[in-house]
Amino acid sequence: MDESLNYVKKLKGQHYRFFGKHEHSAAKLCLWTKKSMRNRGFCYKQAFYGVESHRCLQMSPNVYCQLRCVFCWRTWEHEPLNYLPKVWDEPKELVDESILAQRKLISGLGGVADVDRKKWKEAQEPSQIAISLDGEPTMYPYLGDLIKEYHKRKATTFLVSNGLLPKRLEALEPLPTQLYISLYGPDKQTHQKTNLPLTKDSWEKLNESLTLFPSLDTRKVIRLTMVKGVNMIKPEEYAKLISLSEAQYLEIKGFMFVGGSRQRLTIENMPRHDEIRAFAEKVGAGCGYKIANEQPISRVVLLVRPDLEGKNTLINK
């Protein structure tokens, strides 16, 4: 079997629903979307930013990535960049089909006794798009048009990037409602150890994106995933990089021992929430950011830039 087809087959086996003619895009139902429809809680993004978990569509226009992060709970192959499509599907097609994919993913919940029918019906029309499922979305060449199509449908968009394509970020139009850059190492050595990059200049490109960040006119977040014994070190060095970005928000989240990460790490690498909060306080002390919120069940802490302390963090509020 062609290795790219084998990779897609593996993801399908993990309940990814692929769409588009060339199968480089996928959606997957988030645990918190299902919990929210049962009124059993909601994602920390709802707590922090006010987006509705039951109406959140988690998707990616490109399931391939230049990194092979040791903590990634997704499936990754040895050389996934070899599988990149020669032809990419059109943005409007992906938007339409991603929503249809979400409807199919939640269709079975419609008859479940403890599912809130009102929420289930609302979920048919996603109001929040998390462009963060898998792979690196900025590798999709029509990303700006994809975001524009979702905005036409009155949906907010959260885009998570590894920052390795700064020119794509600089040229992105329109920008998403909220833009993330993932920062998984305080220095080049840790970055290499944690991210196992497939490109030679990943650390330099990431720093270029952090330097670019202040010029991008949208809500901006730096996201750290902390792995004990791997990259949960040197908080003062993380603080320097965060200061460079001038991001409004900082999310520091603990690694979760789930999915494919169990092949590479152990449960001892998963920090407790109190450890995440203590590390967040040290990072914040180095760059002036203050803790604004937290969700212990997700082991995540939200910090805000000094000038935003005490202000509302919700979208459109």
Q: Quick one: pLDDT at residue 79?
A: 62
Residue 8: pLDDT band (50, 70, 90) is: confident
Q: Quick one: pLDDT at residue 1?
A: 45
Q: Quick one: pLDDT at residue 251?
A: 98
Tell whether omega for the bond before 61 is within 30 degrees of 0, i.e. cis. Answer: no
The sign of the dihedral angle between the CA atoms of 118, 35, 60, 291 is positive
**Alpha-carbon distance 296 to 311, whole Å?**
22
The two tokens of residue 192 are 């290499």
* Beta-strand pair 128-131/56-60: parallel
- pLDDT tops 90 at residue 310: yes
Q: Quick one: pLDDT at residue 6?
A: 81
| Tokens 């998963």, residue located | 270
CB 210 within 8 A of CB 241: yes
- Angle at CA 114, nearest 5°, toward 15 and 117? 85
- pLDDT tops 80 at residue 268: yes
Q: What is the average pLDDT value for the chain, to the nearest integer?
A: 95
Q: What distance separates the 2 farthest-apart alpha carbons in the chain?
A: 56
Q: Quick one: pLDDT at residue 7?
A: 83
Q: Residue 272: name the closest of 302, 301, 244 by CA.
A: 301
DSSP state of 216: S
Q: Quick one: pLDDT at residue 5?
A: 75
- pLDDT tops 50 at residue 295: yes
**Alpha-carbon distance 97 to 32, whole Å?**
22
pTM (predicted TM-score):
0.96
| Tokens 């970005």, residue located | 245
Amino acid letter for position 275: E
Residue 4: pLDDT band (50, 70, 90) is: confident
The two tokens of residue 184 are 């998984």
Q: What percent of the chain has pLDDT over 70?
A: 97
Dump pLDDT digits (tens) for 170-179: 999 999 999 9
Dump pLDDT digits (tens) for 141-179: 999 999 999 999 999 999 999 999 999 999 999 999 999
Q: Residue 134: name the closest of 177, 80, 78 by CA.
A: 80
Q: Quick one: pLDDT at residue 78?
A: 55
Element (H, E) at 129: strand 128-131
Residue 240: pLDDT band (50, 70, 90) is: very high
Q: Quick one: pLDDT at residue 75?
A: 64
41 sits in the region (left: phi over 0; alpha: psi -120 to 50; else beta) called: left
Domains and CATH numbers, the chain: 3-308 (3.20.20.70)
Q: Quick one: pLDDT at residue 157?
A: 98
Q: Quick one: pLDDT at residue 66?
A: 93
